[in-house]
Chain A
């Protein structure tokens, strides 16, 4: 069990290293997805299947796919088909695939060979998470909503298309 944890952690570190050394955004994003999947597996092995599911659905699923789509949509044009074919050369996708395959093998092994994740002292389910969030940590949830508002307003202001002429905001 401990060995499984270390393998998943090593995949996460390796994938993250690849993220920050890739020059191309799409390649980096592929590795980032693998890194997030590895973290999800670590959560699962530590007895937090709900956090693992959220990690896959929210981060690796929704947010990262959004990132990839946005990066691809920004490059629309005549040359984009050729460019995208170039991005998806085997040399590019083989690395993330290998790492993901390691994770998949681990997951299958865990699900098939072991009755339950044995390294975990307790399994924290969705109900426990919900009770904690909307019980003692209610204020944290409310404050996090304010934090998202700050991010939303800030992003809206900084990324708003030009409508007021080039004089806006100084020289």
Chain B
């Protein structure tokens, strides 16, 4: 490794150093506020050295990782979302008994795994990044280890993620057997030959897609989503919904971008079927949910279906559209789960839709934030979600994927119904005699920071997206 390699990897190395620092701090002195502070400092330091890395891009660091503007964009997105999760965790765990500090250590490690995923260009790095993320997530999901719902969710995620990792590994082995290399370029080579691609390569790709589809919770690999979203503590749910999915989307876009999908119609049709099934399935399953977390879980399935439509378009607008959509989606999900996290107490997660009746009259700001986030997820104009959806539909139309675009528009219409159901609940009168629990500890300040920043970003990107769009067009590989 040369000097430039180290410079390009500096953000990743600072992040690893932050993991070690937080671990040593916990060993020396257990203090919740101090751990949060050090975690945020580590994330900020990693972001601060990001311009140094940018100056040396694009560069391939060993066979495993590649550092370019595209991966650094996702790097920044992941770190900011992790910082927001840490702040939400501070608000959420403030009043808890027991050890809370390991939460932030696991969070940092998980974000490191996500960054490796976003930077990988080699199946070995892909698998290691995925496992770092998954192993940290098992423990994060089951973090409240006396709450049976969380432990059950963690166990469910452990078994299913391990199973999907098996599929992924077998797919990688088949691709390696066919192409003789684990580099992502093996796929480009294998699919661009004249004549149909070999059966082994297609089978390998299909198995890899099972692993990817599990992580993105695409239908029919979505079974874990609702239970895990509901059982995990709210900040962890926010992390799964944003960081884990963004990292996998970054990887999938890098994998698919150089491929000519029309050379492999079987693969194209399979991905199109996944996208359509996710859009329809996610939106229909969300319709009658009585739990806000489950509702958001099913809606996230649908959102990843929308992203897949843009990926299949393979036009010039494909990568910026995916990046914009993931940014808007991350902001909206962080805000929505932030409201849930701020309102949850040690006794109960603020999960049931009933506990949101009349929220507007007691906590108008919280209700306003949640309304804005839900409208963004639904794709209403003046929010970031609208621009994102518009961008995705444009990409789909450029790729002439009319059936997928029509499915997207129709299912978005269905989706509007359940988002508005929550909004209506917020503004309807509260049942008599019910007091709405809200975390009113001094740590609620950190939750308020996250909620106000995400709301401002949401409206800013919704009104003036030009800045980000121009940035993304330059960053796309």
A residues with a Cβ closer than 8 A to B are 136-140, 142-144, 146-147, 149-151, 153-158, 160, 164-171
Once the chains bind, are B145 and A169 in contact (CB under 8 Å)? yes
B23 x A153 contact (CB < 8 A)? yes
9 A-B pairs with least C-beta separation: A154-B139, A168-B98, A169-B144, A169-B146, A170-B147, A164-B98, A150-B136, A150-B109, A150-B135
Of A138, A146, A171, which one neighbours B1 at CB under 8 angstroms?
A138
State whether A146 and B109 are in contact (beta carbons under 8 Å apart), knowing that A140-B128, A158-B145, A169-B143 are contacts in the complex: yes
**23 A-B residue pairings within 8 Å (CB atoms):** A143-B116, A143-B125, A143-B129, A144-B128, A146-B112, A146-B113, A150-B106, A150-B109, A150-B113, A150-B139, A153-B106, A155-B139, A156-B102, A157-B145, A158-B145, A165-B97, A167-B97, A167-B98, A167-B146, A168-B145, A168-B146, A170-B346, A171-B348
**Max count, chain A CB within 10 A of own CB: residue among B23, B124, B128, B138:** B128
CA distance A154 to B140 in the complex (A): 8
In the complex formed, the residue of B with least CB distance to A151 is: B135
Contacting residue for B64 out of A140, A147, A149, A156, CB 8 A: A140
Contact B97 A168 (CB under 8 A): yes
Whole-angstrom CA separation of A144 from B113 in the bound complex: 10
> A138, A164, A165, A170: which contacts B144 (Cβ < 8 A)?
A170
Looking at the assembled complex, report how far the CB atom of A142 sits from the nearest CB atom of chain B, in whole angstroms: 8
How many residues does chain B have at the interface if contact means C-beta atoms less than 8 Å apart?
43
Q: Which of A140, A147, A164 counts the most chain B CB atoms within 10 A?
A: A147
Who on chain A is nearest to B131 by CB? A147
Structural contact, A143 and B132, CB atoms closer than 8 A: yes
Partner of A136, one of B16, B63, B147: B63
Asked whether A153 lies within 8 Å of B147 as measured between CB atoms, the reply is no
In the bound assembly, the distance between CA atoms of A157 and B23 in angstroms comes to 13
A134 to B61, CA, bound (A): 14
Take A144-B128, A153-B109 as given contacts and tell me if A171 and B98 are in contact as well, using a CB distance cutoff of 8 Å: no
Contacts of A154 in B (CB 8 A): 106, 135-136, 138-140
B79 near A: Cβ within 8 Å? no
Report how far A142 CA is from B96 CA in the complex, Å.
Answer: 34
Who on chain A is nearest to B127 by CB? A140
Q: Which of B19, B65, B136 has the most CB of A within 10 A?
A: B136
Contact of B99 among A136, A143, A150, A164 (CB under 8 A): A164
Is residue B110 within 8 Å, beta carbon to beta carbon, of the partner chain? yes
- A150 partner residues in chain B, CB cutoff 8 A: 106, 109-110, 113, 132, 135-136, 139
Q: From A137, A142, A157, give the contact of B124 (CB < 8 A).
A: A137
Q: How far is the CA of A169 from the CA of B63 in the complex (A)?
A: 43
Complex Cα spacing A167 to B139, Å: 19
Determine the distance from Cα of A67 to Cα of B178 in the docked complex, in whole angstroms: 37
B347 adjacent to chain A (CB < 8 Å): yes
Report the minimal beta-carbon distance from A140 to chain B, rounded to whole angstroms: 5
Checking A140, A149, A170 against B125 with a beta-carbon cut-off of 8 angstroms, the contacting residue is: A140
Mask, B109-135, CB within 8 Å of A = 1, is 110110010000000110011011001
Quick check: B64 and A157 within 8 Å, CB to CB? no
The interface residues of chain B lying within 8 Å CB-to-CB of A165 are 97
B39 to chain A, nearest CB (A): 14
A155, closest chain B residue (CB): B139
Q: CA A140 – CA B127 in complex, angstroms?
A: 10
For the complex formed, measure the closest distance between the CB of B329 and the CB atoms of chain A, giving whole angstroms.
Answer: 26
A147 touches B145 (CB 8 A): no
CB–CB A170/B124 < 8 A: no
17 new A-B contacts, CB < 8 A, other than A143-B129, A171-B347, are: A147-B113, A147-B128, A150-B113, A150-B135, A153-B23, A153-B109, A154-B135, A154-B138, A155-B139, A156-B102, A158-B154, A165-B97, A167-B146, A167-B346, A169-B98, A169-B145, A170-B144
Contact of A157 among B102, B113, B116, B131 (CB under 8 A): B102
Contact among B61, B106, B132 for A139, CB-based, below 8 A: B61
Q: How far is the CB of B261 from chain A (nearest CB, A)?
A: 29
On whether the beta carbons of B96 and A153 are closer than 8 Å, the reply is no
Checking B23, B109, B129, B139 against A158 with a beta-carbon cut-off of 8 angstroms, the contacting residue is: B139
CA distance A137 to B120 in the complex (A): 13
